[in-house]
Amino acid sequence: MGNSKLYKGSLNTIILKLLEEKGKMYGYEITQKVKELTKGELKITEGALYPALHKLEAEGLLDVEVAKVDNRLRKYYKLTEAGEKETVNRLAELEEFIRSMQNLVNPKWSIE
């Protein structure tokens, strides 16, 4: 991937957006989904993903559900009510940011 720093500030929004679409996901599934959606351009490292998930959980934006899968336990993350509202806000913020960047970088191009 070209520059992972550009994605870094958007990690929480990416997580929230994926959970909004999929309902509930576990850590490894999130890393794979992001890889698949970005065609391998963006690889979320585990060292960044789990702290982000734990912070979002601590902020009350995510709820967890533990289930037994094969011979191990799996922790699923899902959005809380506050998380759903926050996702809408953060996506709007991100869209606004992309629009501003487009105006700066390429004024003729539009995401609409």
Partner 1 sequence: MKLTKEDILNINAYLKKKDIKFVDVRFELIDHLVSEYESLDNCPDLDSFLRKRITWCKQVSEAKAKTMHWRYQKDVWKRVLVFMKSPYFYLITFVVAFVYFQLYTILSLELFEKAVLFPFFSVIVFQFIFFFYNHYRYRLKIKLLSANYLFNIFSLPHLLLYMFTPFKEFFLEYPQLFIGYIGFALLLNIAALVEVTSKQKKIKKEYKFLNDVLA
Residues in touch with partner 1 (CB under 8 A):
26-29, 32, 45-47, 50-51, 54-55, 58, 66, 68-75
Q: Closest CB to partner 1 among 9 and 51?
A: 51
C-alpha 103/C-alpha 58 separation (Å) is 36
Kindly state the smallest distance separating residue 64's Cβ from partner 1, in Å.
Answer: 9
Q: Closest CB to partner 1 among 17 and 74?
A: 74
**Encoded amino acid at 35, one letter:** K
Torsion sign across C-alpha atoms 56, 23, 45, 39: negative
CA 62 to chain centre: 12
Kindly state the smallest distance separating residue 58's Cβ from partner 1, in Å.
Answer: 4
